[in-house]
A and B are shown apart, each in its own frame.
Chain A
Amino acid sequence: MKKIIVCVLAVFGLALWADAGIRIGLMGGYASMSEYGGGIAYGGTIGIDLMKYVAVEIKGTRFQGGTYAGSADGLSQGVMTRMPIEFHIQGRFPLMNGKLIPYLTVGGGFGLNSFEVDPELVSSWSDLGMTISEKVENKIFIPAIGLGLDFAIMPNFVVNLEGRYLMGKTDGSWSLIDNDSSLEATGTLADLNLSTIVFGLGFKFQF
Chain B
Amino acid sequence: MKKSKRNPVILGLSVLALGVLLLAPNKLTLQSVLPDAPPPMVVSVNPTVDMVKNPKLDGPLGSLVGTYLTQGADAARDLAFNRHLSYTNDEIQVIVESAPGSTALNSYAQTEVLKRQIQNLGGVVEMSYKAEIQCQADIPLIYALTQNPLVKFVRLPFTVHPMYTSEGVASTKANVWQPATAYRGPGAGTNTAVLDLGFMGYSSLLGTELPSSVTTRSFRTDGNVSYGSVHGTACAEIVHDMAPNAPMWLVNFSTELQHHSAVDYMIQQGVKVVSYSLGWYNAGDGKGTGPIDEDVKKFKDSGGVWATSAANEAKNHWEGTFSDTNGNRYHNFEPTNEIIYWYVPSYTLTAAFLNWDDWGTWNASSLTYSGSNNDYDMYLYYYYGGAWYLADTSMGYQTGSQRPVEAIGYWYANISTYWGIVVYRYSTNRNCKLELFSYGNSSSILYNIEEGSLLQPSDSASAITAGAVDWSNDDRPYYSSKGPTHDNRTKPDFMAPTRISTSSYGALNFAGTSTSSPHVAGAFALLKEKTPFTMDQIQQILEARAKDLGTAGKDNTYGAGSLRLIKD
Are A183 and B180 also in contact (CB < 8 A) when A130-B531, A178-B544 are?
A: no
Nearest Cβ distance between residue B173 and chain A, in whole angstroms? 9
Q: How far is the CA of A41 from the CA of B436 in the complex (A)?
A: 79
Q: Which of B147-191 contact A (CB under 8 A)?
A: 176-177, 180-181, 183-184, 187
Nearest Cβ distance between residue A192 and chain B, in whole angstroms? 15
Q: Is the CB of B183 within 8 A of A180?
A: no
Q: Is the CB of A174 within 8 A of B545?
A: no
Interface residues on B, range: 10 to 19
Q: Say if the beta carbon of B254 comes within 8 Å of chain A.
A: no
- Shortest Cβ distance from A72 into B: residue: B187
Nearest Cβ distance between residue B386 and chain A, in whole angstroms? 60
If over half of B's interface residues share one DSSP class (helix, strand or loop), that class is named, otherwise mixed; here it is: loop
Q: Say if the beta carbon of A110 comes within 8 Å of chain B.
A: no
Q: Say if the beta carbon of A129 comes within 8 Å of chain B.
A: yes
Q: How far is the CA of A114 from the CA of B544 in the complex (A)?
A: 33
Which of chain B's residues have a CB closer than 8 A to the CB of A176? 183-184, 531-533
Which of chain A's residues have a CB closer than 8 A to the CB of B390? none
Q: How far is the CA of A130 from the CA of B542 in the complex (A)?
A: 13
Q: Say if the beta carbon of A185 comes within 8 Å of chain B.
A: yes
Are A183 and B531 also in contact (CB < 8 A) when A129-B545, A129-B567 are?
A: no
Are A128 and B176 also in contact (CB < 8 A) when A176-B184, A181-B544, A183-B537 are?
A: yes
Q: How far is the CA of A185 from the CA of B186 in the complex (A)?
A: 14
Which of chain B's residues have a CB closer than 8 A to the CB of A121? 181, 183
Q: How far is the CA of A176 from the CA of B184 in the complex (A)?
A: 9
Q: Which of B494-534 contact A (CB under 8 A)?
A: 531-533
Q: Which of A14-52 contact B (CB under 8 A)?
A: none
Q: Say if the beta carbon of B566 comes within 8 Å of chain A.
A: yes
Q: Say if the beta carbon of A155 comes within 8 Å of chain B.
A: no
Most chain A beta-carbon neighbours within 10 Å: one of B184, B531, B543, B545: B184
Are A185 and B531 also in contact (CB < 8 A) when A132-B183, A174-B184, A180-B545 are?
A: yes
Q: Is the CB of A187 within 8 A of B177?
A: no
Q: How far is the CA of A128 from the CA of B531 in the complex (A)?
A: 11
Q: Is the CB of A185 within 8 A of B545?
A: no
Q: How far is the CA of A181 from the CA of B527 in the complex (A)?
A: 14
Nearest Cβ distance between residue A69 and chain B, in whole angstroms? 12
Q: Is the CB of A187 within 8 A of B532?
A: yes
Are A185 and B533 also in contact (CB < 8 A) when A174-B184, A180-B567 are?
A: yes
Q: Which of A108-128 contact B (CB under 8 A)?
A: 121, 124-125, 127-128
Which of chain B's residues have a CB closer than 8 A to the CB of A72? 187
Q: Say if the beta carbon of B302 comes within 8 Å of chain A.
A: no
Q: Is the CB of A128 within 8 A of B184?
A: no
Are A124 and B180 also in contact (CB < 8 A) when A185-B531, A187-B532 are?
A: yes
Q: How far is the CA of A127 from the CA of B545 in the complex (A)?
A: 13
Which of chain B's residues have a CB closer than 8 A to the CB of A174? 184
List the 9 closest pairs (A to B, CB-CB), nearest first.
A181-B544, A180-B544, A185-B532, A178-B541, A181-B541, A181-B540, A180-B545, A183-B537, A180-B567
Interface residues, chain A, with chain B CB atoms under 8 Å away? 72, 76, 121, 124-125, 127-130, 132, 174, 176, 178, 180-181, 183, 185, 187
Known interface pairs A129-B567, A176-B532, A176-B533; 11 further A-B residue pairs with C-beta atoms within 8 A, sorted by A's residue number: A121-B181, A127-B176, A127-B566, A129-B566, A130-B183, A180-B541, A180-B545, A183-B533, A183-B537, A185-B184, A185-B537
Cross-chain pairs A/B with CB under 8 angstroms, 14 sampled: A121-B183, A125-B183, A128-B180, A128-B566, A129-B545, A129-B567, A130-B531, A178-B537, A178-B544, A181-B543, A181-B545, A183-B541, A185-B184, A185-B533
Interface residues, chain B, with chain A CB atoms under 8 Å away? 176-177, 180-181, 183-184, 187, 531-533, 537, 540-541, 543-545, 566-567
